[in-house]
């Protein structure tokens, strides 16, 4: 049987769209953005946007606790890391690949920063995300998965904002990621090796000026 011929359709706006073999209108696929579009897109917006699989996602505002923890840890890292390293705050883009780019809360780079399209960083060594109820699943899941594709990334640190809790994930020599340490007591200390130097950041410094409700506090006997 010969193939059925179909005719294109014209809508009310005069835009012609081809029809498929079933006689149904075929809509064009949605536009997928790339990192080349990032700067121009954000210039028209009031808030930062992450690029996820070709789609720009608006970033929500953060709480006082989130901002305080991020600022505390940024300062502590800047003081503790070797001279060859640099700690950068949440306005620094990180390049994942052509249709993905993210804004971590803190990123540390050692050696010369490799900056590419949209002023995005290509060679992060350590990334920190401060968790919130609405973003924790993403930070542990898809976002972590995307970060892991950066070959230079070796450390990933997750910090709770409503209780004293810090998790440190590390890429092993075999390329496999593992939970290197977790801290659930305010008297604990986060230790990380960067550029051959082991740095120590007390949780008390991370949570300076942050108060927890008693129900959210983690008891000492739960420490890992």
- Burial label, 95 (beta-carbon count in 10 A; 0-12, 13-18, 19+): buried
Q: What is the pLDDT of residues 65-108, one digit of tens each?
A: 999 999 999 999 999 999 999 999 999 999 999 999 999 999 99
The least confident of 18-22, 73-77, 146-150, 190-194 is: 18-22
Which tokens in the block code for residue 100? 């993905």
Q: What is the CA radius of gyration of the chain?
A: 23
pLDDT at 222: 43
| Structural domains of the chain, with CATH | 64-222 (3.90.1570.10)
Task: With H, G, I as helix, E, B as strand and everything else as coil, classify residue 224.
Answer: coil
Q: What is the pLDDT of residues 11-56, one digit of tens each?
A: 444 444 444 555 566 766 778 999 999 999 999 999 999 999 999 9
pLDDT at 25: 66
Task: With H, G, I as helix, E, B as strand and everything else as coil, classify residue 16.
Answer: strand
pTM, 2 dp: 0.83
> How far, in Å, are 44, 51, 96, 126, 172 from residue 85 at the CA level?
33, 26, 21, 10, 20
Which tokens in the block code for residue 139? 């930070």
DSSP class of 221: G
pLDDT at 64: 95
What does the chain come to in residues?
A: 224
């Amino acid at each position: 049987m010969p193939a059925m011929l179909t005719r294109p359709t014209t809508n009310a706006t005069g835009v012609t769209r081809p029809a498929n073999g079933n006689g149904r209108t075929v809509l064009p696929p949605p536009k997928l953005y790339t990192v080349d579009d990032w700067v121009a897109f954000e210039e028209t917006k009031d808030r930062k946007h992450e690029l996820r699989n070709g789609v720009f996602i608006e970033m929500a505002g953060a709480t006082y606790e989130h901002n305080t923890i991020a600022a505390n840890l940024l300062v502590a890292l800047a003081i503790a890391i070797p001279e060859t390293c640099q700690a950068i705050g949440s306005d620094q883009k990180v390049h994942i690949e052509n249709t993905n780019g993210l804004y971590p809360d803190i990123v540390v780079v050692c050696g010369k920063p490799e900056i590419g399209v949209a002023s995005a960083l290509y060679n992060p060594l350590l990334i920190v995300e401060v968790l919130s109820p609405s973003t924790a699943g993403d930070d542990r899941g898809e976002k972590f998965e995307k970060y892991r594709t950066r070959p230079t990334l070796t450390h990933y640190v997750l910090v709770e904002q409503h209780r004293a809790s810090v998790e440190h994930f590390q890429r092993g020599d075999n390329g496999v990621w593992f939970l290197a340490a977790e801290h659930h007591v305010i008297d604990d200390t986060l230790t990380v090796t960067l550029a051959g130097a082991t740095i120590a950041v007390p949780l008390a410094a991370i949570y300076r000026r942050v108060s927890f409700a008693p129900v959210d506090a983690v008891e000492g006997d739960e420490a890992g």
